[in-house]
Amino acid sequence: MFRFGVDYYPEHWPEERWETDARLMQEAGFNTVRLAEFAWSRLEPSPGRFDFDWLDRAIAILHARGLQVVLGTPTASPPPWVMAMHPDAFRVMESGLPVSYGNRRNYCPTHAGYRERSRIVTQAMAEHYADHPAVIGWQTDNEFGDRCYCRHCQAAFQSWLQHKYSSLDALNAAWGAIFWSHVYTAWSQIPAPLATAAPFGDGSHNPGLALDYYRFMSDQYVAFQHEQIEILRRECPAHFITHNLMGAGYDRLDYFDLAADLDFVSWDNYRRMQWTFRPEVNPSEAALSHAVMRGLKQKNFWVMEQQAGSGGWQIVSVAPRPGELQLWAHQSIAHGADAIIFFRWRTARFGAEQYWHGLLEHDGRTGRRYQEIKRMGAELARVGAQIAGSEVRAEVAILLDYDSRFAFQIQANNPAFHYTAHLHDIYQAFHARNVAVDVVAGDADFSRYKLLVAPALYVLSETTARRIEQFVEAGGVVLVTPRTGVKDETNTVVNMPLPGLLARVCGVEVEEYDSLPEGVSQPLAFEQPGICDGASPHARIWCDILRTGDAQVIARYTQEYYAGTPAITANRYGAGHAVYAATFGDASLYTMLAPWLLKLAGVEGTLTTPVGVECCVRWQGERAIWFLLNHTAEERHVTLPAPMVDIVSGQQVDAAVILRPRQVLMLTT
Amino acid sequence: MFRFGVDYYPEHWPEERWETDARLMQEAGFNTVRLAEFAWSRLEPSPGRFDFDWLDRAIAILHARGLQVVLGTPTASPPPWVMAMHPDAFRVMESGLPVSYGNRRNYCPTHAGYRERSRIVTQAMAEHYADHPAVIGWQTDNEFGDRCYCRHCQAAFQSWLQHKYSSLDALNAAWGAIFWSHVYTAWSQIPAPLATAAPFGDGSHNPGLALDYYRFMSDQYVAFQHEQIEILRRECPAHFITHNLMGAGYDRLDYFDLAADLDFVSWDNYRRMQWTFRPEVNPSEAALSHAVMRGLKQKNFWVMEQQAGSGGWQIVSVAPRPGELQLWAHQSIAHGADAIIFFRWRTARFGAEQYWHGLLEHDGRTGRRYQEIKRMGAELARVGAQIAGSEVRAEVAILLDYDSRFAFQIQANNPAFHYTAHLHDIYQAFHARNVAVDVVAGDADFSRYKLLVAPALYVLSETTARRIEQFVEAGGVVLVTPRTGVKDETNTVVNMPLPGLLARVCGVEVEEYDSLPEGVSQPLAFEQPGICDGASPHARIWCDILRTGDAQVIARYTQEYYAGTPAITANRYGAGHAVYAATFGDASLYTMLAPWLLKLAGVEGTLTTPVGVECCVRWQGERAIWFLLNHTAEERHVTLPAPMVDIVSGQQVDAAVILRPRQVLMLTT
Amino acid sequence: MFRFGVDYYPEHWPEERWETDARLMQEAGFNTVRLAEFAWSRLEPSPGRFDFDWLDRAIAILHARGLQVVLGTPTASPPPWVMAMHPDAFRVMESGLPVSYGNRRNYCPTHAGYRERSRIVTQAMAEHYADHPAVIGWQTDNEFGDRCYCRHCQAAFQSWLQHKYSSLDALNAAWGAIFWSHVYTAWSQIPAPLATAAPFGDGSHNPGLALDYYRFMSDQYVAFQHEQIEILRRECPAHFITHNLMGAGYDRLDYFDLAADLDFVSWDNYRRMQWTFRPEVNPSEAALSHAVMRGLKQKNFWVMEQQAGSGGWQIVSVAPRPGELQLWAHQSIAHGADAIIFFRWRTARFGAEQYWHGLLEHDGRTGRRYQEIKRMGAELARVGAQIAGSEVRAEVAILLDYDSRFAFQIQANNPAFHYTAHLHDIYQAFHARNVAVDVVAGDADFSRYKLLVAPALYVLSETTARRIEQFVEAGGVVLVTPRTGVKDETNTVVNMPLPGLLARVCGVEVEEYDSLPEGVSQPLAFEQPGICDGASPHARIWCDILRTGDAQVIARYTQEYYAGTPAITANRYGAGHAVYAATFGDASLYTMLAPWLLKLAGVEGTLTTPVGVECCVRWQGERAIWFLLNHTAEERHVTLPAPMVDIVSGQQVDAAVILRPRQVLMLTT
């Protein structure tokens, strides 16, 4: 069963409206609602006094219309009484200043009192809804993540360190605390890495301390969530548990760790919002987020919040154009979503999200957006069952590493370098060729793939290095980019030439490097014909200056004192190849390298499509469903390998397909 | 009698200089001085010990030269001993951090101890000067306004809310506090809306709470001022009371409320200052400020601080060009000033305003600026009596609404939208045609006008909506712009199509809207000839997509999915017309609409003048005094309807007038 | 003996590596190492428990290789236990927020407890190393400077003021505290000038108070250092004492005062760093720093940290190009350095400066940078003795005034004006002509010079004014620029026409002035032929409008209401000339004025060189050593007055010299 639904807040609306809402949901083809996510004030109006009656009535009305329910634990936004009870439970920002009351996500995940209140409300909800026939699962909290720097966290960090290092000698050695005489002689001396330590940006914290703090803070949220999960698993063994994450861009939490505890992950997919206040939307950005979310547990996911209208808090964002909402929702499905839950049902009349538009207008009218999604619902009613559970299959993987990601937050290395943007620059090259890509952690089973991309693997453990070496030895192709193997797990620079533990497999050593000013770049000269004919991708941001052993030179620098030295090399190692790209190109470099890498690895693409048309495949055993998505506002012509069948209409489609603006086709052979 | 004078700080200069200063003032034609505004330290050197001798001596010297005195209550800058006595009386900023000692306006207007000190010093001054023959009136404090977020204000806010809502249930309902579970169960839980609640700008406070806080803070200053006014009225019944406000741009205080308690308002008119560090000055900006100030009590006003030289604290601004000081002062008069008081007499040699230049140089020399103003004084000595008390008469009004203004501070809706700039964009269209405009509140008597402009009336009460409807019904013309009628008085979005309570009179309903990114615009296509021939004003910032009933379409969008739908409509309603401009144009849109609107309303202009020449009229009964002001640095030719008489020279002026650079003419028939 | 060496942190590396490091240093030609600068944690692991064994062992190994040792007092970075013992010893920023633990330079220089710990560790080190045969001298702390605003500093400021002014009446009068009623009636009321006093930038602190605070803070560091110096002088009378300063750009400390206590000054010379993230390096910027450093005690100096590789904390800067390290080091020598100590030896593997690259790579390899410096070491071994102690001789001096510099930090006067940039604009004009320039304080012996430049002498004492007058009277030439003589020493504007006390010698009075907006400028028209033929330097930033007495007009303004009035004047006064440049030109103005000024003063240049080639001379008695430095990446042709001898090779060099890219020649006759 394909889940199609909406996030609904009955507590925001008069009870007499609920029946109308439920009917309109049913008419839209919805089968699922998420409820209660921020309803703590209504569920527990005062300490220990619970009121589920109103929610029971709301669920009853929805259930009668065929809707099943995902419940949120409401801990992302504590009622005033909770914070009045624990005035020191406010999260403290990196500046050292506490958050004040008035928004949400204002709590410290470490605070014992807050954690107790979280367990109490979760326990009460779990007990009440364990056997409710409409309830199918839970969402923990909402969009976990912001780091806290309060004294409770500092103390917990000290305990976390004590557990990790056992002795201060070991900790001081691991961090190189002797630098600037930061040798700790009592656990209580260890600070949280506040921004006020280097107020002019003149120096970071000790990189070892900072990386450990970022890991610790990630662990705190995992632990906070785990307390809720323990309760839910015990009380509601029949229900699933998920959490709504924030896509590829969110980098404060180790999502692999957070996902480990969940049955599946969900994420919140907003394409055009206040913070991306612009008319264009790049489909590969959403696609990368889908790949990351799918990779966290290497399985399908839910979109728990799929954009339903303009987003915005103080600012109203550009309105989604006709067709965009269904297009974006279909893209989610094409990349592995087994559920599309729109956020939100009706645009709120009050509160901080008055301009975070739902499917219905402020006054309850069903307008253009509702009608568009209702049409999608009607189609899904026909084909959803064929889609649900079908899987995306990839032969290419990109390695996403949280240690490296956190470490780059401490030292960016170059002002123009952004880890996520680098991942996206590489990802888009495969996306443009409709090649499915998995995003995986360092401990994933690489043997499932033919091509592995390891972008900027800055912090590299011996285990991961060995696993990459074995992958290449066994015939895989790996692409390695600069700033790989620079640090060991203590965030100390390795005592060997870069790329450190991957130098052998890559067949190169970094003699020295040049960090380029913004705007400075140089063309690369390719040695090998057929890779980059007629084009000239540029080196930018960073240039490693290499000494090569047996590695073959693919391209060379053309300027500066290292003109003529290798910029891209390929090394035969065992049965495979390790490619070292010694500079960060812009997207065009990877666009040029991708076909060569795919050929080297023996990976074939699905379909060549014009710019702006995406083609994804989901597999049900041996049956493939092709999603053709026209992301443009113009007609696009696509040539299929053969005529196919439109699974919605059941009709045959010619090999020469014309896609209308923003049209989506789901085809099978 | 026309008041002409200067702000003087005798306490800054050796007593032996006072006589020289008084003589130079007399020679400049001055008849009025403002004194003691920041003299608290000298008037009350220690708690309860008062010293008026020095001020009495200064007044005696000035009075002997024919100068009368306005006294300031000195509370805008407390002496060190006051703040040492009340260390918690420092204003707390939106960041949550208290202001520290070293500037002025550093006090919390709520603090009981500070209020007591304010009453004590006011009482002592009032008693001492009640019967002084030189003293004519009072200025309260100085430039009221900055919001405080301290715990005293928070507690006072809670009381203010308790008084307003009686019960927490009513408050929670009004604000929609259920959103994000902010349901308050004790008055003491209610926060001040600190910026630290949403440190990353990701979400505002609850809009209902924030709007109430902004109203509350405005009320606090009104109440603080009222305590001084009560004393002054009781002790000095013969004296006027005013306050120096900050023109059209200042938006933290409801100036209508603040003005209600005063005999008349004053304002501080600076044209080229540190914060507008640029060579050009736009005369319509000052003109709008004059119109706003005149509108606060719908009567003439004083300019209590008229620019006398370069302004600046850390930075020295561009020097006023020869002729500019008198030009700007004359513009003030042309728009309704009955007094011009220059700030300041002599440039201070010490203190934070060393570069806030007075008429005299640091070393006491009388230079170019003094001579220019002295010439103006000589002219005013001849014609001042004819001008004083004469009035500006307008048939066009622009509605200025503080609820909307505050609400836009909470949610800007679009990053390019600024309420005051929008008012100015419209105002300048009338100003360019020399059409007098009143700026009025929602409860003004609209029947005095033929054309009413209601820009972005975001928060709209039923009363105001009904009054606008009645105005149109009775034959008036109203111009309504986007984001009107969006909110009720609780800052909740209305439960009806926009423009909400004005939808009926406008004959349109907003189906949906598109908020445009910066730099994106589209040309409008006008249906009606004669409005916008040959030009193409653009839609920008915001586009409402309309469903029209009987309203006539004036212009349509030409791009995007709403191309061809109405962008400007006119609706016949009763005996009048309601025009709905569904997009925010730039100034050129209103420049094009203005003549059509004026024609529709039957308003005639005064005189057509070349760019940079302003023509204003003040009426004394049936006698008109025309002010012709050449704001440019070049000669300008103006054609009068007939020869007129220059009231300064008494000589006839030909219909074909040539104005010298920055020349001002005052003419009558 | 010329000192050539490196900054070394043996405590960062395994003891078994030390011998290798010492050997490589010896092979590089090094004879000096700086040690222990940040080693407090290792020297005093807990309060009062000292451990010098490890350092003794390190010194022994180095000494055996012929290296002598400069020791740093380690107080720039306290160990955690020190700050845990004194939690209120953290420096408080201008924002009022305390610095937190995690970096260095985090202490308050006033804190009594911190000062005591500083004395204890200094005493212990001094006692232990007083008679060590390898130790030759001391560096106090590291890069003194950041202002503290804590309550200890506030209290010390109050005492400092009490000592300076004796009475509050005197203080209130000096500051003009009556302005805004800031009349202090108790010493304890006086605040530190926190940024929170005027949170919106609307007004500075009282300029008198702020200037005194900046002087006070400078004094605090001088006093803090003095406590260490007293100990070192007492215990180690045979050792020299120095401190590593930060060049011309650092402006928070009166370096003349700080230097007074030292035997000689050192400085840290970084050319291309994180904060100058750009490929180009301007040699005149380093040259100015050298001139400033040399001027502090009017004697030669050390470079205690000479750049050894890319610098950076979070960011890696552009790599030094081949030849640049030796070029920059040679430039230091050419300008008066008697020691070059590279920072650092080996790139740290841990800590906040992992990317502050040393001569050796992270993994200990000796790469391109080490080899370059080793070559330099071999040359210096031959010629160092001829260079050491030789002196730079200048006939031109630029006056650097800390009172003015501090005062401009309080009031910039114009947003485009920067005191140091103004000095550099003038300095580069002489530098481009290879004219040696001393930078001196107001109390220097001006009679040593023919031309004195007094840029923006904003705060001017009677003594300095009289000394300048006497210098001109006796035949000197002085160049005075705008904003000179504006303030007396209380930061009060003078009670006379500008340039105040220099008006008479300059023969001009400033009638008024115009502060120009950014981007606005106007060409100057030169009256005198031969100064500026064919070029048109522009007035920008500021235009004084002058009344001239006997002064001759050199150039006039061409635009605005002061078109035609004098912009540059020259006044014959006694046997000399005073030139008043009434506007701040850009560098080109001074480039044009320089030859005329030099001619007027009778100063001859050394050599005319092409752009990018610098020629400096050091004198040993009557013997001159010429340094020719090619700062460009291209060949450059230079014509010498006659053939000379290369002191490195001993070979004759033709008058027509070809310099290779970044080549340095040291020549003698």
C177 pLDDT above the threshold of 80: yes
Q: Map tokens 């009320």 to a residue.
A: B219
Q: Which chains are adjacent to chain C, needing at least 3 Cβ pairs under 8 Å? A: A, B
CB-hemisphere CA count at 13 Å for C225?
Answer: 28
Tens digits of residue pLDDT in B479-512? 999 999 999 999 999 999 999 999 999 999 999 9
Out of A37, A285, A305, A614, which one is annotated catalytic? A305
Q: What is the pLDDT of residue C198?
A: 84
Report how far apart, in Å, the C-alpha atoms of B522 and of each of B77, B528, B537, B557 are.
Answer: 50, 18, 8, 7
Give, in order, the Cα–Cα distances in Å from A180 to each of A206, A258, B161. Answer: 9, 35, 54
Q: How much is the pLDDT for A606?
A: 84
DSSP assignment of A18-47: HHHHHHHHHHTT--EEEE-TT-HHHH-SBT
Q: Residue A424 to residues A284, B557, B609: CA-CA distances in angstroms?
A: 8, 37, 59
Confidence of residue C201 (pLDDT cuts 50, 70, 90): low
C-beta atoms of A497 and C104 within 8 A = no
Tokens read off for B406: 């505050």
Which of C93, C100, C351 is nearest residue A180 as measured by Cβ atoms?
C351
Contact C205 B103 (CB under 8 A): yes
Q: Which residue type does C571 have?
A: N
Judged against a pLDDT cut of 90, whether residue A535 lies above it is answered with no
Q: Give the least confident one: A62-66, C43-47, C548-552.
A: C548-552
Q: Do B517 and A316 touch (CB under 8 A)?
A: no
In C, which residues are within 8 Å of A181 by CB distance? 38-42, 74, 77-79
Cβ atoms within 10 Å, residue A575 = 10
The reported pTM is 0.97
- Write out the catalytic residue numbers of C: 143, 305
pLDDT band at residue A272, thresholds of 50, 70 and 90? Answer: confident
What sign does the CA torsion over C272, C277, C282, C285 have?
negative
| Proportion of chain C above pLDDT 90, given as a percent | 94
Task: For domain B3-147+219-387, give the CATH number.
Answer: 3.20.20.80
Q: What is the pLDDT of residue C277?
A: 60
What is the structure's pLDDT at B394? 97
Among A279, A316, A368, select the one facing B414 at the smallest CB separation. A316
Q: Count Cβ atoms within 10 A of the Cβ of residue C281 and give its class: 0-12 exposed, 13-18 middle, 19 or more buried.
A: middle
The predicted model gives B587-599 an average pLDDT of 95
Section B74-99 average pLDDT: 97
**Residue range C276-294: mean pLDDT, rounded:** 87
Whether the pLDDT of residue A534 is over 90: the answer is no
Average pLDDT, chain A: 96
A531 pLDDT more than 90: no
Stated length of chain B:
669
| SS3 per-residue string spanning A14-25 | CHHHHHHHHHHH
**What is the homologous superfamily of the domain A3-147+220-387 according to CATH?**
Glycosidases (3.20.20.80)
Report the pLDDT averaged over residues A253-282.
87
pLDDT digits (tens, 9 = 90+) for C75-95: 999 999 999 999 999 999 999
Among C366, C376, C275, C285, which Cα is nearest to C324's? C376
Question: Residue A533: is its pLDDT beyond 90?
Answer: no
Q: Which residue has the higher pLDDT, C226 or B202?
A: C226
State whether residue C421 sits within 8 Å of chain A by CB.
no
Contacts of C426 (CB under 8 A, 6+ apart): C398, C453, C455, C479, C481, C590
Cα–chain-centroid distance for residue A143?
A: 11
For A77, left (φ over 0), alpha (ψ -120 to 50), or beta?
beta
- Write the Ramachandran bin of A180: left for phi over 0, alpha for psi from -120 to 50, otherwise beta: left
User: Which pLDDT band holds residue B530 (cuts at 50, 70, 90)?
Assistant: confident
Q: pLDDT tier at B434 (50, 70, 90 boundaries)?
A: very high
Relative to beta strand B664-668, strand C583-585 is unpaired
Structure tokens at B349: 């040699």
User: Which chain C positions have a beta carbon within 8 Å of B322's beta carbon?
Assistant: 561
Q: B397, B438 in Cβ contact below 8 A?
A: yes
Q: Which of B37, B44, B285, B305 is catalytic?
A: B305
Going by pLDDT thresholds of 50, 70 and 90, the confidence category of residue A198 is confident
Q: What percent of chain A has pLDDT over 70?
A: 99
Banded pLDDT at A201 (limits 50, 70, 90) = low
Report the DSSP pairing between strands B521-526 and B552-557. antiparallel
What homologous superfamily is domain A396-601 in, according to CATH? Class I glutamine amidotransferase (GATase) domain (3.40.50.880)
Question: Look-up: residue for tokens 């924002």?
Answer: C95
Considering B44, B143, B285, B614, which one is annotated as catalytic? Answer: B143
Mean predicted confidence (pLDDT) in A311-336: 95
Q: Which of A38, A81, A361 sits opposite B180 (nearest CB)?
A: A38
Report the residue of chain A nearest C277, measured CA to CA: A517
Residue A308, CB half-sphere, CA atoms under 13 Å: how many? 30
A277: confidence class by pLDDT, cuts 50, 70, 90? low
Q: For residue C279, what pLDDT is reported?
A: 67
pLDDT band at A232 (very low <50, low <70, confident <90, very high): very high
Please determine, for residue A202, whether its predicted confidence score (pLDDT) is greater than 90.
Answer: no
> If residue C395 lies in a helix (H) or strand (E), which one and from where to where?
none
Give the burial class of C195: count Cβ atoms within 10 A of its Cβ; 0-12 exposed, 13-18 middle, 19 or more buried.
Answer: middle
Spell out the residues 6+ positions from residue B534 whose beta carbon is closer than 8 angstroms to its own.
Answer: none
Q: Please tell me the predicted confidence (pLDDT) of residue A184.
A: 98
Q: What is the DSSP string of A306-343?
A: EE-S---SSBPPPPPPTTHHHHHHHHHHHTTEEEEEEE
The average confidence (pLDDT) of chain C is 96
- Give the nearest chain C residue to A94 (CA atoms): C100
Phi, psi of C644 (to 5 degrees): -135, 180
For domain A613-668, the question of CATH label 2.60.40.1180 is answered with: yes
Q: Where would I find the H helices in B166-248? A: 168-175, 207-235
Which of C349, C353, C371, C660 to mutate to probe the A interface, most A CBs <10 Å? C349
CB contact under 8 A, B104 and C414: no
Alpha carbon of residue A66 to chain centroid: 32
Are C207 and B352 in contact (CB < 8 Å)?
yes
Catalytic residue list contains B518: no
Residue B560 Rama label (left phi>0; alpha psi -120 to 50; beta):
left
pLDDT at B549: 85
Q: Where in chain B is the domain with CATH 3.40.50.880?
A: 396-601
Arithmetic mean of pLDDT, A326-351:
98
- CB–CB contact A102 B201 (8 Å): no
Tell me the chain A residues in contact with residue B518 when contact means C-beta distances shorter than 8 Å: 277
What's the CA gap between B461 and B453, in Å, rounded?
A: 16
Q: Which of residues 479-508 of C touch B (CB under 8 A)?
A: 490-497
Closest CA to C500 of C458, C470, C542: C458
Distance from CA of C332 to the nearest CA of A (A): 24
B179 and C CB contact within 8 Å: no
Structure tokens at B645: 């008489």
Which token pair is A435?
């090649």
**In this predicted model, what pLDDT tens digit does every residue of A341-379 receive, in sequence order?**
999 999 999 999 999 999 999 999 999 999 999 999 999
The percentage of residues in chain B with a pLDDT greater than 90, rounded to a whole number, is 94
Residue B46 touches partner C, C-beta closer than 8 Å? yes
Residues of chain A with CATH 2.60.40.1180: 613-668
Mutation target to probe the C interface, by most C beta carbons within 10 A, among B273, B316, B365 is B316
Token readout for A436 is: 């499915």
> Is residue C277 less than 8 Å (CB to CB) from chain A?
yes
Confidence class of residue C255 from pLDDT cuts 50, 70 and 90?
Answer: very high
Which tens digit of pLDDT belongs to each residue from C352-400? 999 999 999 999 999 999 999 999 999 999 999 999 999 999 999 999 9
Please tell me the class of the C3-97+104-147+222-387 domain: alpha beta
- pLDDT band of residue A276 (cuts 50, 70, 90) is low
* Chain C residues within 8 A of B45 when measuring between CB atoms: 183, 185
Give the pLDDT mean for B315-333: 96
Q: Which of C46, C316, C361, C370 is the mutation pick for testing A, counting most A CBs within 10 A?
A: C316
List Cβ neighbours of B266 (8 Å cut-off, separation of 6 or more). Answer: B139, B242, B243, B244, B245, B301, B302, B303, B304, B339, B341
pLDDT tens-digit readout, C418-444: 999 999 999 999 999 999 999 999 999
CA-CA distance, B540 to B482, in Å (whole number)? Answer: 11
- How far is CA A469 from its chain centroid? 27
The answer to whether the Cβ–Cβ distance between B12 and C193 falls below 8 Å is no
Q: What is the pLDDT of residues B355-370, one digit of tens each?
A: 999 999 999 999 999 9
User: CA–CA separation, B462 vs A296, rounded Å?
Assistant: 54
The segment(s) of chain A belonging to CATH 3.20.20.80 are 3-147+220-387
Phi and psi, residue A257, nearest 5°: -65, -45
Whether the upstream peptide bond of residue B517 has omega within 30° of 0, thus cis, is: no
pLDDT the model gives residue B278:
66
Tell me which residues of chain B, numbers 96 to 115, contact chain A at a CB-CB cutoff of 8 Å. Answer: 96
pLDDT of residue C275: 59
User: Residue C321 burial (CB < 10 Å; 0-12/13-18/19+)?
Assistant: middle
